[in-house]
A and B are shown apart, each in its own frame.
Chain A
Amino acid sequence: MKKKILASVLTVAMAATLLVGCQSAAESADSASSTADTESTEESTDADAESTDAAASEGLALEDLKVGFVYVGDESDQGYTYNFMMGTDEVQESLGLSDDQIIEKTNVGEDSSCETALRELAEAGCNIIFATSFGFEDYVMEVAPDYPDVQFCHATGYQSAASDLANTHNYFSSIYEARYLSGIIAGMKTQTNKLGFVAAMPYAEVISGYTAFYLGAKSVNPDVQMEVMYTNTWNDANLEAQLAQALIDDGCDVLGQHCDSAATATTAEAAGVWQIGYNTDMIDKAPNASITSARCDWGIYPEYAINCLLNGEEIAKDWSQGLVENAVMLTAYNDALMPEGAAEAVETAKAAIISGDLHVFDTSTFTVGGAELTTFTNDFGVEFVKDGYFHEQEADFGGSSPAFSSIIDGITVKE
């Protein structure tokens, strides 16, 4: 009994010391940054007295810049990571960075190897680090406090806004806008009035995407229906092919997809139906089936974030841009397969989205369980439905990560 008491006392004592230890470390970091503040204020006479961030008062010289990227795969996936790496090349060119100013870590797992990669990049002197897979976020949040001078930008995540870490940021592209446009083409192309969607995981990111795709189709073809099946994995080419075939067997004649490989495209080609891709142009792989693809331009955000760093401005906590800024787009059309008038319909819708006249998730255009969607709150209690539409990926409504996860009428999910 005595031993037990002693053990518990010791445990409590240890926990207490740990806490104290953490606190003092945080305090010293705070005091360090505040001294930096005072110094910089003294140096520059016109510096804003209210400035809280040392980086905010003086920019970084371009030649001192070092950028780190962490990818879950590499360019060989010809999809997700390949698209990110194309964006990196864009940034390198537009900012004129030399090769040794960019460090890319590929094939990093969504496990502790991500933490290692992040720490290596920070220790290698990177001023800004981009982590590009959903599962990296926990590691970003863990590493970021240790490197307060390094900016951590995480794609597809959601935790930054709620955290008090000034050096973490979330970003994503409003890809649902491009998916809506591609849906218009699908809606005009279909002859069976039945679309199919090869989806990876039942996550909001995927659901938001195929719902937008369907709403686009429905906007031009009110009778259209859509069938969705999940592979439950991001990358399994054979399963994607079999799933696509099952959708085709069920009468779908235009397939959309949110998966990593081109298997949906090639299966559609072999079966003589059509396909709309994601991330990369798939026309060279399936020239008789691929009409176009919805694509994010991953060069825009890094350029924005790096420019903030160079100009001494703060990087937004949440960033999501879409058609307005050309952060999302449709890849070049396969003209031979484009239905008549589709290109014009896409242009009209695009202009309407850009001007703000058209909202993709306009609640008057769809129903959930037979009723209009009037309220939708996420885990943090944020209300998304306001002014007649669902505020998807907006900074004031739950940030940059996709949130729409209702299955609307007209879409059948086949488990």
Chain B
Amino acid sequence: MLSIILKLIVAAVLAGTPLLFGALGEILTEKSGNTNLGVEGMMYMGAVSGIAGAFFYGKAAGGAPVGVVAVLIALVVSFLIGALGALIYAFLTITLRANQNVTGLTLTIFGTGFGNFFGDFIAKNAGGSLVVTDGVKAMFKGIAIPGLSKIPVLGTLLFNYNWMVYFAVIVAVVMAWFFKRSRVGLNLRAVGEDPATADAAGINVTRYKYVATVVGGGICGIGGMYISMVSQNGVWVFDCVSGYGWLAVALVIFATWDCNRAILVALVFGALKIMRLYVALPIPSQFYDMAPYIVTIIVLVITSMRESREHAQPKSCGTNYFREER
């Protein structure tokens, strides 16, 4: 019984990590007052570019790639391409003041096509499959942390994951500190709550919005890379992101725009996603699939009833800032 629960939690962590990346990226974006619904699209862009980066580096290195270098390349490339997707969004909504929801949705469509097109294109040119070398695959497997991983129960539970899991947690903790304690973070929150006031206080609203949105997109891109490199084990699979971006958007609401809480919530969402595979309850499997969304709706209802300002979406989300309209 204990071993089943342990396996369930481990699987939940693995399923929750891409959601955490996507949610963190979206939280950063929304803190600047931009609701970017293109998370799914940016994840696709990151997914394909990360694996492509590692793949082409492997080719260039002549079949003997250095694992760490491949990892860094995958990380940087997926971040940059995810950020590129967000840059399109930022330019359209911040500079051209296009509708945020519509722009985000189109970014999802664009990113999905981008990912699947390039994934297929590279795979075809590579002779059928886009696969990274075994050495690179090994870099994305779980690492048994020496000593600690030997502790019974706790070792399996905490010290046997791939590096991206720890990385996601670190990003979340750093972001939480950034929003609460750093000057720049507080400024960013001011921009998201009330850009006019922030502007009057001398904060460069446009720059803050751009940087937050673009970096947020980059983090989403890393989440996509997790799917192609960890979930799919370094093989490009058509349509691989399959809704994780949307779940990440729901997760942002569930986490009430709090990065620390997002860690826990990602674990819960991950668990809900895989629970039916481990725990057999006499209910139809469709209920499990619905669960994350039902929980999100409940959270939305509760938070709106409590009218808590602390745990709500940044006020200016959805509306573009136009100085002359103050």
Contacts and interface: CB of A to CB of B under 8 A. Distances in A.
B285 A270 contact: no
A238 B227 contact: yes
Interface stretch (B198-206, B215-223, B274-282, B293-301): B274-282
B286 to A, nearest CB: 7
B277 A242 contact: yes
B286 A237 contact: no
A285 interface: yes
B238 A77 contact: yes
Given A76-B116, A238-B244, A286 B235 contact: yes
A263 to B, nearest CB: 6
A407 B23 CA distance: 42
Interface in B262-286: 273-274, 276-278, 280, 284-286
B229 to A, nearest CB: 11
Interface in B124-142: 127-129, 131, 134, 137, 141
B237 A242 contact: no
Contacts of B237: 237, 261-263, 266
Interface string B229-259: 0011111011111101000000000000000
A267 B233 contact: yes
B11 interface: yes
Nearest to A266: B233
Given A76-B116, A284-B129, A285-B131, A266 B235 contact: yes
A237 B236 CA distance: 10
Given A237-B239, A285-B235, A249 B286 contact: no
29 contacts: A78-B128, A230-B285, A232-B285, A235-B238, A237-B238, A237-B239, A238-B240, A241-B231, A242-B11, A242-B273, A243-B277, A245-B277, A246-B7, A246-B11, A246-B274, A246-B277, A246-B278, A249-B278, A261-B237, A261-B238, A261-B240, A262-B129, A266-B233, A266-B234, A269-B233, A270-B137, A286-B233, A414-B280, A415-B276
Contacts of B194: none
Interface residues of A, number: 30
Contacts of A263: 232, 237
A107 to B, nearest CB: 11
Contacts of B232: 237-238, 241, 263, 266
A243 B231 CA distance: 12
B274 A285 contact: no
A267 B286 CA distance: 24
Contacts of A239: 242
A50 to B, nearest CB: 51
Nearest to B116: A76
A396 interface: no
A229 interface: yes
Interface in A272-311: 284-286, 288
Contacts, number: 88
Contacts of A232: 285-286, 289
Nearest to B286: A232
B233 A242 contact: no
B15 interface: yes
Contact of A229 (B11, B134, B277): B277
Nearest to A270: B233
Contact of B128 (A236, A246, A284): A284
B175 to A, nearest CB: 25
A285 B7 CA distance: 26
A229 B141 CA distance: 25
Nearest to B126: A284
Contacts of A78: 123, 128-129, 238
Contacts of A288: 134
B11 A249 contact: yes
A76 B11 contact: no
A414 B227 CA distance: 26
A230 B231 CA distance: 19
Nearest to B123: A78
Nearest to A235: B239
Interface in A393-415: 414-415
B280 A249 contact: no
Interface string A239-254: 1011101100100000
A76 B238 contact: yes
A249 B285 contact: no
Interface in B108-155: 116, 120, 123, 127-129, 131, 134, 137, 141
Contact of A415 (B231, B235, B240, B280): B280
Nearest to A288: B134
Contacts of B239: 235, 237, 261
Closest 5 CB pairs of A and B: A246-B277, A266-B233, A237-B237, A249-B7, A270-B233
Interface string B182-197: 0000000000000000
B233 A238 contact: no
Contacts of B241: 238
Contact of B129 (A246, A285, A415): A285
Nearest to B276: A415
Nearest to B138: A270
A241 B273 CA distance: 12
Contacts of B244: 238
Given A77-B238, A261-B238, A242 B15 contact: yes
Contacts of A246: 7, 11, 274, 277-278
A230 B289 CA distance: 13
A285 B119 CA distance: 14
B233 A415 contact: no
B285 A415 contact: yes
B124 to A, nearest CB: 9
B252 to A, nearest CB: 20
Interface in A10-68: none
A157 to B, nearest CB: 25
A246 B273 CA distance: 12
Contact of A238 (B120, B234, B238, B242): B242
Contacts of A229: 277
Contacts of B280: 414-415
Contacts of A270: 137, 141, 233
Nearest to A248: B7
Contacts of B286: 232
